[in-house]
Amino acid sequence: TQNEEQLMNRLVLKQLMEKLPEKDREIIVRRYFENQTQTRIAEDLNISQVQVSRLEKKILREMRERLTS
């Protein structure tokens, strides 16, 4: 059922998130769960928006790779 699928997705996401380094996890949580902009995150982490964008792409790619391995 749809509820079971949603539960499984949450469990898989939780496992993937737990394996992330703290800074990576913070970026993903702030972007996708707290809906913060890359610019806002960059200001708080004292890095550029471009760096946040690159990090976000790298983190998501690594999470996808873990899913398929």
pTM of the complete model: 0.84
| pLDDT computed for residue 59 by the predictor | 95
> pLDDT tens, position by position, for the chain (69 residues)?
888 888 888 888 889 999 999 999 999 999 999 999 999 999 999 999 999 999 999 999 999 998 887
Distance between CA 58 and CA 62 in Å, rounded? 6
Contact between residue 32 and residue 18 where contact means Cβ atoms under 8 Å apart: no
| pLDDT computed for residue 1 by the predictor | 85
| pLDDT computed for residue 48 by the predictor | 97
| pLDDT computed for residue 43 by the predictor | 98
Contact between residue 28 and residue 59 where contact means Cβ atoms under 8 Å apart: yes
